[in-house]
Structure 1
Amino acid sequence: MAESTTARVDWRLLWASGDLARFCFINLGILLHATNETMVATITPAMVGDLSGVELLGWSFAVYEIGAISAGAAAGRMTSYVSLRTNMMAAALIYSLGALICALAPSMPVFLAGRLVEGLGGGALVSLAFVSVQRLFPKAIWPQLFGVMSAIWGIAAFSGPLLGALISQYLSWRWAFGVFVIGGLFAAIACLFVLRGPQATRAQNDGTALPRFPVLALGCLAASIVLIALAGVKVEALRSSLLLGAGIAGIVLFFVLDARLPAARLFPSRPFNLGTPLGNGLTMVAAFSVATCSFGVYGPLLLTSLHGIPVLTTGYIIAAESISWSILSILVANAPPERERVIVLAGALMIAGGIAGFAYAVPAGNIPLILGCAILQGGGFGIAWPFVTRIIVASAPAAEQTVASSAVPTMQRIGYAVGAASCGIVANASGFSQGLSGEAEANVAAWLFLAFLPLGLLGCIAAWRLPPRSDA
């Protein structure tokens, strides 16, 4: 392993030692997961046309996130029982298997099963990538390596929709998953040659008792999201209300169960206490994560079916949202501390404005306005997220700051899963339960965004309640 006594990365030394190749390989897992996660948005028009089942479209995002959350929580702990290399190989093979099931799926239920398997493999690959940096590289260069990993995630986020659009347009949506079958197999085989040495080939257990894995809490969370999604499959007032209520109650129970596992919890104590900066910060993250799923899940399908807009154009729009997130995040990174709260509030208003704008622009098919809303929404996340994350971590008790830092992306994933499932309720209640038609699409296009405006308002209120930096 390359040693370093400074906080700078000596890339030449990493190359000479072989660690640079190892680091590039580790990032392949992030690239596979993030690209696949965002790619699905632009293949949905072709996929729905082939498999039907538009009423289950929200499930393709929800089940992927369920798998990613569960496997992400498990993968780090598994390295105490099985070597890092074996874990990485298993995750890559599971991911490849899920992609293969999706590529060959004859029906939407089989496709959803593949998405769940993919999510398990992808979530594990990402978690193991971060574990690998901790295990295989000097602590002094972790910040720089994590920074590179974040940049790669950003590249994957905006390249995924374009990749899906290009392959779907010129080959087949099935080949979009075929690429990831090959990528997963390549990653599994490469583990044998890249991950060497005792840190990678031996289980890392110091003999202490390991915390209990939160099986019950995660099982409760997964069941809750499934119940919410089921509420939208066949929309009936009583049935859907009961399932939705049970799903929301299950999410509340998940947080209760999580709080009872102090050694293995996923969230800090009292995560939604609106009397604290931490509670307001996590409330903001949860509200906006749920509220902004609509365009990613249904936008490409609506624009293609309702207005005849090429899928490649929708790919560029989704990519523009990710690019604006990255660019504005960089631009405000060195903002003075006294402007932190104003920047977070401005970002929250931008996100809410994007949701409201989509409610008009998508039914109208106004491409420049849709692009502007996407940039507004992505830019809002870009300027708000770094600072709200700092507020959440800084305001957590000292013993919970590590948990608080990992709670932000976990909350975001839970929000995406719940949001995707909730989108299905709104879409099917607005007409998609009867299949694709011009009248149904026009109705769905408006309500998919109007229904989530209250959550956008909640996110803005939570941002407004955050204290100035000196009080955080």
Structure 2
Amino acid sequence: MTDISTNRVDWRALWASGDLARFCFISLGILLHATNETMVATVMPAMVGELAGVQLVGVQLVGWSLAIYELGAIVAGAAAGRLVSYVALRTNMVVAALLYAAGAMICATAPSMQLFLAGRLIEGLGGGALVSLAFVSVQRLFPRTIWPQLFGIMSAIWGVAAFSGPMLGAIMTELLSWRWAFGIFTFGGGAMALASFIVLNTPEAKKPQATDGKAPPFPFAALGCLAISVVLIASAGVDIALLRSSLLMTVGLIGLALFFRIDALKPLSRLFPSQLFSWRSPVGAGMTMVAAFSVATCSFGVYGPLLLTSLHGIPILTTGYIIAAESIAWSILSILVANAPPQRERPIIVCGAMMIAAGIAGFAYTVPAGSIPLILLCALLQGGGFGIAWPFLTRFIVASARDDEQTIASAAVPTMQRIGYAVGAALTGIVANASGFSEGLNREAAASVASWLFLAFLPLGIVGCMAALRISSTALRSRMAAAG
């Protein structure tokens, strides 16, 4: 199936062996998860209007839709990689797909925002497990020589999903109903479960991975602390009251710090490398940049379409195009800078950070103004900034980690992103409800929310830029020391 001398894949032989078909079905899990993750923002205006009506609770819980989904994905993603040690890969994949389908069905039929959020949690559990199992499947079912090509295809699938999700949500809402958008994922999850049972019929897929009967430890305490912390922060934004909201937010942030502390004290099950946020460490500066920008950039994805529709009457399909353009900019610029020489990686990371921060600041003006070209420019800046910075940032973090922590560091970047998205979505709910949405969804409330929702996160954007500059100076010193 491969030419060892050139490390090229014989796709015809791969198809004839059935391995390519298996890979296609495995990759369907990534497509389902990523498309659903990016779709919700464009269906939110129609969904809130139908589920909440004139009730305040529906608007107040908008930020939970992403926070709960990401929380489920984090927990399931961490669990799935360990479950294959004592439960067969095929069984794991079938159960994950059925969970995903069940969650999508609950969302599609939900009569209230609370039940919709329960469906989102179940969807997140299934989707997060499918993504984790997809990567495990490549390592277990395919020759090591073609892993880079298969991982490259999986990255391309993620990019396609990030583009197609907002478009799918907008088109289904315009032509049929937002419920049909989730209905498609119900059928997709069911098809994934059936395909997994039929296609994953190899001995490697039908037996557990571990031979000694011991499963690697699972970070129950750390993830439990994380889940409680995110829920507490999100709860602070519902029914805003100074004392209650401040107390919930404070306890939630303390719990978040405790999560990272617990993780650091559990070396056998830890999710992050040591010196996680220490700027004296290159890894710490890099992970700070990941966390800061992941939290700071949630506002437009969660509330952008809702604000643009309420304030300016911009069609849902147009907001779908804008969000899709952000994903396209991420993918295209990531490809364009992929072959940049090492000496240019440092300024590229800094440039990407500046672009992201400029996008956050720009949204604070363009969203209230309603200028579609300027809003599109800010989306392109934000997505493009991630596109050029993230590949080199990830490489920098992994290369700077200790030899015994490089595997942890490589997995820590996407994990930190998901935690940042979950916490960011919870915080956007607090800001949105405190600045006007607690009084209901109307034009006056949206006008009040529009600027504050982005300005509130600009300090984190500045922190991200400072971390990028710290990375730059650290990399420069390292190169000078190596040259000397």
TM-score range for the pair, normalised by the shorter chain length: over 0.9
Mean alpha-carbon deviation: is it higher for 256-265 or for 307-316?
256-265
The reply on whether 1:367 has 2:372 as its aligned counterpart is: yes
8 A contact 2:73–2:124 mirrored in 1: yes
- Deviation, structure 1 residue 324: 0.4
- Deviation, structure 1 residue 3: 6.2
The reply on whether 1:443 has 2:448 as its aligned counterpart is: yes
Q: Which runs of 4+ in 1 moved over 6 A?
A: none
CA deviations over 1:417-464 (Å, ceiling 9, x no partner):
000000000000001011112111001010000000000000000000
- Superposition map of 1:390-405 within 5 A: 390-405=395-410
8 A contact 2:275–2:281 mirrored in 1: no
- 1:288 maps to 293
8 A contact 2:76–2:126 mirrored in 1: yes
CA deviations over 1:285-324 (Å, ceiling 9, x no partner):
0000000000000000110111000000000000000000
- 1:29 maps to 29
The reply on whether 1:57 has 2:56 as its aligned counterpart is: no
- 2:42 maps to 42
- 1:133 maps to 138
8 A contact 2:86–2:213 mirrored in 1: no
8 A contact 1:338–1:469 mirrored in 2: no
DSSP-derived class of the 1:266 partner: coil
- Superposition map of 1:45-444 within 5 A: 45-52=45-52, 53-207=58-212, 209-444=214-449
The separation in 2 between residues aligned to 1:84 and 1:252, in whole angstroms, is 34
How much identity, in percent, do the aligned residues show? Answer: 72
Structure 1 length as normaliser, TM-score? 0.98
CA deviations over 1:77-122 (Å, ceiling 9, x no partner):
1111111000000000000000000001010000000000000000
8 A contact 1:232–1:424 mirrored in 2: yes
AA at the equivalent of 1:233: V
- Deviation, structure 1 residue 208: 6.3
AA at the equivalent of 2:420: G
8 A contact 2:44–2:305 mirrored in 1: yes
The separation in 2 between residues aligned to 1:307 and 1:396, in whole angstroms, is 48
AA at the equivalent of 1:119: G
The separation in 2 between residues aligned to 1:20 and 1:219, in whole angstroms, is 38
- Deviation, structure 1 residue 206: 2.2
DSSP-derived class of the 2:356 partner: helix
Structure 2 length as normaliser, TM-score? 0.96
AA at the equivalent of 2:384: G
- 2:10 maps to 10
DSSP-derived class of the 1:468 partner: helix
AA at the equivalent of 1:468: A
AA at the equivalent of 1:5: I
User: Structure 1, unaligned stretches of length 5 or more?
Assistant: none
- Deviation, structure 1 residue 209: 3.5
C-alpha RMSD over aligned residues: 1.0
AA at the equivalent of 1:19: D
The separation in 1 between residues aligned to 2:442 and 2:178, in whole angstroms, is 22
The separation in 2 between residues aligned to 1:429 and 1:255, in whole angstroms, is 28
- 1:471 maps to 478
- Deviation, structure 1 residue 233: 0.4
- Deviation, structure 1 residue 468: 2.5
Mean alpha-carbon deviation: is it higher for 202-211 or for 440-449?
202-211
8 A contact 1:340–1:468 mirrored in 2: no
Mean alpha-carbon deviation: is it higher for 191-200 or for 346-355?
191-200
CA deviations over 1:224-276 (Å, ceiling 9, x no partner):
00000000001111111111111110110001111111111100012101111
CA deviations over 1:94-153 (Å, ceiling 9, x no partner):
000000000010100000000000000000000000000000000011011001000000
AA at the equivalent of 1:381: F
- Deviation, structure 1 residue 204: 1.2
The separation in 2 between residues aligned to 1:204 and 1:346, in whole angstroms, is 43
DSSP-derived class of the 2:63 partner: helix
DSSP-derived class of the 2:8 partner: coil
The separation in 1 between residues aligned to 2:213 and 2:279, in whole angstroms, is 37
AA at the equivalent of 1:48: V
- 2:482 maps to none
The separation in 1 between residues aligned to 2:232 and 2:3, in whole angstroms, is 51
- Deviation, structure 1 residue 470: 7.1
8 A contact 1:103–1:177 mirrored in 2: yes
462, 465, 472: which is aligned to 2:467? Answer: 462
8 A contact 1:4–1:138 mirrored in 2: no
Change (3 A) 1:396 1:208: farther
8 A contact 1:337–1:469 mirrored in 2: no
The separation in 1 between residues aligned to 2:376 and 2:446, in whole angstroms, is 20
The separation in 2 between residues aligned to 1:59 and 1:411, in whole angstroms, is 18
8 A contact 1:317–1:374 mirrored in 2: yes
Mean alpha-carbon deviation: is it higher for 268-277 or for 33-42?
268-277
The separation in 1 between residues aligned to 2:100 and 2:189, in whole angstroms, is 6
8 A contact 2:83–2:215 mirrored in 1: no
The separation in 2 between residues aligned to 1:89 and 1:444, in whole angstroms, is 42
AA at the equivalent of 1:262: P
